[in-house]
Structure 1
Amino acid sequence: MYKYWLWQPWTRPRCLSTGHRTARLGRLCRSLRDTGFHEWGFVIYRGVYGDDDAWNLFVQCLRDNVHLDLERGSAQRGALLEQYAQWTVIEDSESLDGASRDDVRQRFVEWREGRTVTRPANPFPQPTDPSSVLPRFNYCLYVDRECLDTLGPHLAAKPSDISKPHLPPPPLVVIIIDGNYVLGQDAQGPFPPIDGSTARYLGWGYFNTRYLCGLYDELHSSRFDRPEYQRPPAIAPGGSSSMPSV
């Protein structure tokens, strides 16, 4: 995985001092407080090239959805958490254009292995090593052609003022990839074959960007391979819609 080193005291974000245990995004707040690592958010890999305008719009819409998700429940807490968000975008047309999900997983593993995360000294033993539960270093996002194609319907139904109440537009979809998944680790199952596997869990899935912050929060204490997992082509959360071109 990645390394932790103990170091000098640090400054705690103000939103983490009280009332975080039962609050929405409470696991994320506790993580920032307990690890001293004030950077959160998924790394995003770009897998389709040739239309920079569409790509830039996709990233902007993703950030808009993240902003809305952060404000859900507490605008003040959301604004404070947004200061620490890092949605790192990795672009490389030579190696990522049309890349497979397995290729992206390998690139992500290489990326995280090169990172060292600092942690404040603590006089008390930690029950678990935070390095095993930080979603930023366990999962990444991938945008392929099918995901980029969800931009058009999403924009067509998106209101001009996202701050006003409205019905959610069709989902803007990304692929979430489990960096710890090992091909063939799950037994074959009764499901239609995808990538040659009939297992329930495939190490990846489609996800509606409107709920990314909630997912990031949940992945501090659970895995993507859980009862709520939606097998492609269903789009999580809920699975009420599916990728039309898959």
Structure 2
Amino acid sequence: MGILTRVSDNWVRRSGKARLMPYLFWTKVEDRATLEGSSKDAVREHFRNWINTRSVERDGPGADHPNLINESPRYRACLYVDKDVMMSASLTAYPFPQNPTGFHLKVEGHVVLIDAQYGQHYLNQPGIDEYDRAELESGDLTEEDLEEGQYEPIEGKTEYDVGWQYIKLELTATIYDQMCHFHDAWIQPNFYTRPPAIGEGGTA
């Protein structure tokens, strides 16, 4: 978590947006009994439950706005840190006076980005076959059915989009900013990278 905070602080200050610092904080959920050894799907469901129990009292003014879930990255994706992520992470800070933070950060490692809206993107596509739409909405057909068998299984999923991806740890703030500007960022060209490759969120 310390590395994520340093990366975010560095990005905000370098971008000339230091005024945002008082509003920058991470919501951290540590529930070993529930999450340890869980699949990405189970983590997503846990996150969705957290989203669905949001309130003004817990999350602040505007948390009850009807469009918030679709517009705020806070409710569209979560970062998942497991042992593999922790073992991959490292940060070295070099003095660099030209940087507003005073340092240049060399960040190694990756983190898991889980899409909270997984399973809903296909329904939002304008060119969707209406027969498929009806079956998807009824639950008789899933997005997995449409793409099944095309790719090597990742945690049992053979479709292209498995609902999560690895992203470079150094790009977490940049990718969050992309999700602020593009509400459908996950399906934007080059944003998603299928595991086990590590993505750059379309920043490359």
TM-score by length of 2: 0.71
Provide the rounded CA distance (Å) in 1 between the counterparts of 2:193 and 2:8. Answer: 21
Assess, with a 3 A threshold, how the Cα gap between structure 1 residues 129 and 89 changes in structure 2: closer, same or farther: closer
In structure 2, stretches of 5+ residues that fail to align are 121-141
Deviation at 1:219? 1.3
Provide the rounded CA distance (Å) in 2 between the counterparts of 1:167 and 1:130. Answer: 33
Q: Which has the higher contact order (CA 8 A, sep 6+)?
A: 1
Provide the rounded CA distance (Å) in 1 between the counterparts of 2:173 and 2:42. Answer: 25
SS at match of 1:219: helix
* Equivalent residue runs for 1:196-215 within 5 Å: 196-215=156-175
Tell which deviates more after alignment, 90-99 or 179-188: 179-188
The one of 5, 9, 26 aligned to 1:67 = 9
Q: Match for residue 139 of structure 1?
A: 77
2:186 is equivalent to residue 224 of structure 1: yes
Assess, with a 3 A threshold, how the Cα gap between structure 1 residues 82 and 167 changes in structure 2: closer, same or farther: closer
Q: Match for residue 143 of structure 2?
A: 185
Could you tell me whether the CA contact under 8 Å between 2:81 and 2:111 is conserved in 1?
yes
Deviation at 1:100? 1.3
Assess, with a 3 A threshold, how the Cα gap between structure 1 residues 238 and 135 changes in structure 2: closer, same or farther: closer
**Counting helix residues as a fraction of each chain, which structure ranks higher?**
2
Provide the rounded CA distance (Å) in 1 between the counterparts of 2:33 and 2:95. Answer: 37
Could you tell me whether the CA contact under 8 Å between 2:93 and 2:106 is conserved in 1?
no
Report Cα offsets for 1:155-179 as digits up to 9, x if no partner. 4xx1354745647342x32111111
The number of residue pairs the alignment matches comes to 167
Provide the rounded CA distance (Å) in 1 between the counterparts of 2:87 and 2:186. Answer: 24
Provide the rounded CA distance (Å) in 2 between the counterparts of 1:90 and 1:226. Answer: 28
Q: Match for residue 196 of structure 2?
A: 233
* Equivalent residue runs for 1:1-246 within 5 Å: 59-74=1-16, 77=17, 79-116=18-55, 118-119=61-62, 129-151=67-89, 154-155=90-91, 158-159=92-93, 161=95, 163-164=101-102, 166=104, 168-170=106-108, 172-182=109-119, 184-186=142-144, 187-188=147-148, 190-220=150-180, 221=182, 222-228=184-190, 229-237=192-200
Deviation at 1:132? 1.6
Provide the rounded CA distance (Å) in 2 between the counterparts of 1:103 and 1:72. Answer: 36
In structure 1, stretches of 5+ residues that fail to align are 1-58, 120-127, 240-246
Report Cα offsets for 1:212-237 as digits up to 9, x if no partner. 22211221323323321111112220
Assess, with a 3 A threshold, how the Cα gap between structure 1 residues 103 and 200 changes in structure 2: closer, same or farther: same
Deviation at 1:189? 5.7
**RMSD across aligned C-alpha pairs, in angstroms?**
2.8
TM-score by length of 1: 0.60
Could you tell me whether the CA contact under 8 Å between 2:77 and 2:115 is conserved in 1?
yes
Percent identity between the aligned chains? 32
Report Cα offsets for 1:79-109 as digits up to 9, x if no partner. 2112112211111121111221111101101
